[in-house]
Amino acid sequence: MQTTATRVAAVTVTLRGVDRTFGAADGAHHVLRGIDLDVDAGEVVALLGASGCGKSTLLRLVAGLDRPSAGQVMIDGARVDGIEARAAVVFQEPRLLPWRTLAENVAFGLPDGSPRGSRHSEVTHALDTVGLGSFAGYRPRAVSGGMAQRTALARALVRRPGVLLLDEPFAALDALTRLRMQDLVDDLQRTTGATVLLVTHDVDEALQLADRVVVLAPGADRAAGSGIAHLLDVPGARPRDRADPVLAALRVELLDRLGVPRQRPLPA
């Protein structure tokens, strides 16, 4: 799909000594501990790790939907303090209002103070960008899951975010739709130049879309929370060939680090 997305001012994302703990001191649950990460403007970084290791929590901290227990989260050098206007989040579920049309749902993403005269054109452009221009008047129940998730992506894009935060946005989709959505996001990122943080459990997805992969995992003291266990630079320019043998080798490496050893053949 050829997109016509608007170029944005990409931003850097910096985390310094970030901890996140839930609960009181006598019953605290440590999720993240000592996270130090620098994401360059326009870079795509995938966050991998087992369920409960803090991937989505880290994303919420960058978006300003949550606050760190210690440390700092910064966008373009400015500390995140509350909802971050330069960030937009796409969640695992589309979270569309069922009584609103797709266009009306996208319009909810427009920044406060958007000129009334340009709102319609901005929404139309965002829907066209994700290939849904002819479905603007449809309601969510009348479209497929993949189309609903594209609508959620358009709602994020209409904000023209400097950093796009994707929290397992394709997890509920069928395999073929998921591949198409991966290609769409890859195309959109290269067109807009936005910085992207992607949470995923899919190693192949991470290698297809990311410039770097960050593996989160607990240390020897699992109760202390997760830290960055491994950083992997993914070679080659995007878009990438899914059949590239280099990616296949990296897939094995990442699965090993995630505790998923390669399958052994059955004994004869």
Residue 176: which residues within 8 A CB-CB, separation 6 or more? none
Instruction: Order across the sheet with 212-218: list the strands.
Output: 78-79, 70-75, 13-22, 29-39, 226-233, 212-218, 44-48, 195-199, 163-167, 87-90
Mind listing the pLDDT tens digit for each residue in 204-248?
999 999 999 999 999 878 788 999 999 999 999 999 999 999 999
The answer to whether the peptide bond before residue 115 is cis (omega within 30 degrees of 0) is: no
pLDDT band at 3 (very low <50, low <70, confident <90, very high): low
Distance CA 109, CA 179 (A): 25
| Pair of tokens at residue 219 | 């240390």
Q: Helices 116-129 & 145-157, crossing angle to 10 degrees?
A: 140
| DSSP code of residue 54 | S
Percent of the chain at pLDDT above 70?
Answer: 95
CA separation, residue 48 to residues 11, 19, 54, 148, 163 (Å)? 22, 18, 10, 25, 18
| pLDDT score of 4 | 65
What are 31-67's pLDDT values in tens digits? 999 999 999 999 999 999 999 999 999 999 999 999 9
Beta bridge partners of 163: 87, 195
CA dihedral 135, 155, 141, 177 (to 10 degrees): 80
> Could you say which of 3.40.1210.10, 3.40.50.300, 3.40.109.10, 3.20.20.140 is the CATH number of the domain covering 13-86+163-257?
3.40.50.300
pLDDT per residue as tens digits for the range 96-137: 999 999 999 999 999 887 888 789 999 999 999 999 999 999
Neighbours of 122 (CB within 10 A): 21
Q: Give residue limits of the domains in the chain.
A: 13-86+163-257, 94-160
Q: At 23, is the secondary structure helix, strand, or coil?
A: coil
